[in-house]
Amino acid sequence: MDISTLDLDKMKESAANACRLMKVLSNPDRLMLLCQLSQGENRVGELEENLGIVQPTLSQQLTVLRDEELVTTRREGKNIYYQIASPQALAVMKVLFDQFCGPQTGAKA
């Protein structure tokens, strides 16, 4: 196998990983959850209250984020806290914030 084949294989793997991340981010609820978590750790109740996502949907979307290893959890008493675990997801969230939510940009499409 020559070096160009190795680079192509790595490129395909990287493209597949990027597509997986973008697929997860393509859901508005998950995108909002990651946006909120990009500001720091939150309890489940805080996420529900701050984002207005009802409990069944919130649980479903947090499960997807956990399964994709984009977030981690910790338990403190009865509370479960979530935080972003993926530096790639955090970097993408920063770009999305700058492009769509930052000053001077607004929510243009």
Would you say 76 and 42 are in contact if contact means Cβ atoms under 8 Å apart?
no
User: Which fold would CATH assign to domain 3-100?
Assistant: Arc Repressor Mutant, subunit A (1.10.10)
Question: How confident is the prediction along the chain (109 residues), in pLDDT tens digits per residue?
Answer: 555 667 888 999 999 999 999 999 999 999 999 999 999 999 999 999 999 999 999 999 999 999 999 999 999 999 999 999 999 999 999 999 999 988 865 555 5
pTM of the entire predicted model: 0.84
DSSP 75: E
Would you say 36 and 81 are in contact if contact means Cβ atoms under 8 Å apart?
no
Per domain, the residue ranges of the chain are 3-100
Q: What is the pLDDT of residue 103?
A: 81
